């Protein structure tokens, strides 16, 4: 059986997150004999949004495909990525005519071709088109080209993520949730061969409130006054999941949580 081994990296937050990717991807690539690296990079620029420069850092560190989510538009420079970079995906359920792409097929040297689909949920999130209807259309299109399909379901509600994965069970190789920055312990393979994890967690400083300095967040909750939410600095982890996919069938063979500490104890945002 020929396996495609994929590392899916949870939301990369700011400079600490980019540093963790740079340091740890080579380590994990060797440890797990990885073939493909996918990362959600929507928070890679100062903790909110993405730019060509931060995307380049992730690509240079070994990331093959970058997905995104509701912070897609937080940096105006993202327009350049949407127009020119085929390795960068936005949620596919934006209305027709929005620049960029929500899915794509990738052919890496020496590897089985694979597809990646990026979706954004609607529960407690900015309203986009129906991700479930969009998923059916996009998956049908991808399945005409490849057997292996990885879905980033960027959503707040666990029910929405689970429902998406249940709907796509047997149609895609994996559905991995992103957005909440809290890694879940529910990794599993559904009956028809689709791997699932409700949230991959986040890559960045975990001595924090989901990547931001603690005190201003508490102050905001206490007083409901404006605060500056800077990226925190300490206890940097790379979080995500390692997938093993049968290249012949596209079915997941295994899924394993990853939460790997970076060596740097502190880093500027």
Give catalytic residue positions.
71
Sign of CA dihedral 174, 102, 258, 1: positive
- Distance (Å, rounded) from C-alpha 209 to C-alpha 235? 12
Alpha helices in 33-157 (DSSP H): 52-60, 78-84, 131-143
Residue 45 Rama label (left phi>0; alpha psi -120 to 50; beta)? beta
Q: Please name every residue paired with 69 in a beta bridge, in sequence order, or none if there are none.
A: none
Helix (H, G, I), strand (E, B) or coil at 8: strand
Number of CB atoms found within 10 A of residue 188's CB: 12
Burial track 61-71 (b if 16+ CB lie within 10 A, e otherwise): bbbbbbbbbbb
In total, the chain counts a number of residues equal to 269
On the 0-12 / 13-18 / 19+ scale of CB atoms within 10 A, 135 is buried
Q: Are the C-beta atoms of 258 and 242 separated by less than 8 Å? A: yes
């Amino acid at each position: 059986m020929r396996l495609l081994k994929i590392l899916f990296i949870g939301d990369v937050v700011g400079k600490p997150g980019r540093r963790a990717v740079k340091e740890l991807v080579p380590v994990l690539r060797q440890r797990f004999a990885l073939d493909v690296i996918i990362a959600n990079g929507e928070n890679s620029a100062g903790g909110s949004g993405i730019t060509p420069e931060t995307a380049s850092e992730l690509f240079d560190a070994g990331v093959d495909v970058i997905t995104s989510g509701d912070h897609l538009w937080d940096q105006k420079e993202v327009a350049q990525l949407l127009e020119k970079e085929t390795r960068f995906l936005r949620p596919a359920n934006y209305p027709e005519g929005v620049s960029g792409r929500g899915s794509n097929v990738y052919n890496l040297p020496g590897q089985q071709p694979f597809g990646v689909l990026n979706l954004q949920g609607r529960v407690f999130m900015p309203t986009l088109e129906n991700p479930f209807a969009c998923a059916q259309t996009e998956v049908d299109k991808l399945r005409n080209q490849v057997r292996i399909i990885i879905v980033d379901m960027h959503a707040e509600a666990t029910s929405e993520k689970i429902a998406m994965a249940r709907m796509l069970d047997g149609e895609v190789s994996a559905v991995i949730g992103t957005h909440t920055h809290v890694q879940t312990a529910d990794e599993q393979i559904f009956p028809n061969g689709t791997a699932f994890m409700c949230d991959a967690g986040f890559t960045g400083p975990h001595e924090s409130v989901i990547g931001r300095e603690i005190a201003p967040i508490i102050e905001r909750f206490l007083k409901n006054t404006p605060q500056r939410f800077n990226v925190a600095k300490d206890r940097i982890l790379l979080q995500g999941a390692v997938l093993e996919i049968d290249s012949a069938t596209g079915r997941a063979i295994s899924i394993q949580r990853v939460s790997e500490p970076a060596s740097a104890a502190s880093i500027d945002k």
